[in-house]
Amino acid sequence: MKKNILVTLSALSISAFGFTLESNSIENGYIKEKYGKHGTQNLNGMPSLSFPLEWKNAPKNTKSYALVMEDFDAIPVTGFSWIHWIAIIPKTTTKLQENASLENKEIIQGVNSWISSMGRLNKSDASHFGGPAPPDTDYTYNITIYALDKEINLQSGFYLNELYTNMDGHILDKVTLKAKYKK
């Protein structure tokens, strides 16, 4: 009886932590300046130094991950939410190093909003991390990692709606990290 109780308590304590997402690039609720418009790395004018991310305690049956970084504060300025980064990540990966968008060949990246008439990049350049560049005030960015029960089969340059269509009915869990970036 005691053994069963201990096993049950151990299982509960492990699952009690839940799916988590963190980044050491965020201090006091703000993304460090080097990862956006105040940084020095850019790709044809688009801030391109992606920040590190790490996630833990994904559901047991996870087959892949999807990453979406979106800025809803951009809507009054642009008329739409600004997509900064979308990627499909293999199940064996539980962290992305700094600059993974340009250096990690295992992730498949979709198009960000820098392809729009406001960003004016071509599809190839816009299929990477496009860092924060708020024009008028500090903006909040939503970074979400989805644990999926299937592998997503899309090619580089896919659109967010294609990702959502492929994820539909296959999301095991998700976790969102919110952080601001200074104007």
Does the pLDDT at position 126 exceed 50?
yes
Structure confidence at residue 2 (pLDDT)? 43
Structure confidence at residue 12 (pLDDT)? 33
9, 160 Cβ separation under 8 angstroms: no
pLDDT grade, residue 119 (50/70/90)?
Answer: confident
Helix (H/G/I), strand (E/B), else coil: 160: helix
DSSP 1: -
179, 30 Cβ separation under 8 angstroms: yes
Q: Is the dihedral of CA 94, 172, 158, 118 positive or negative?
A: negative
- The region that residue 117 occupies, defined by phi over 0 for left and psi between -120 and 50 for alpha, beta otherwise, is alpha
Round to the nearest angstrom and report the end-to-end CA distance of the chain.
59
Specify the pTM: 0.87
Cα separation, 72 vs 74, whole angstroms: 5
- Give me 48's structure tokens: 């391109």
- The region that residue 103 occupies, defined by phi over 0 for left and psi between -120 and 50 for alpha, beta otherwise, is alpha
- Give me 2's structure tokens: 């005691």
Average pLDDT over residues 147-169: 97
| Per-chain mean pLDDT for the chain | 90
Q: What domains does the chain contain, in order, with CATH numbers?
A: 18-181 (3.90.280.10)
- Give me 137's structure tokens: 């005030």
Average pLDDT over residues 139-158: 97
Average pLDDT over residues 99-120: 93
pLDDT grade, residue 175 (50/70/90)?
Answer: very high
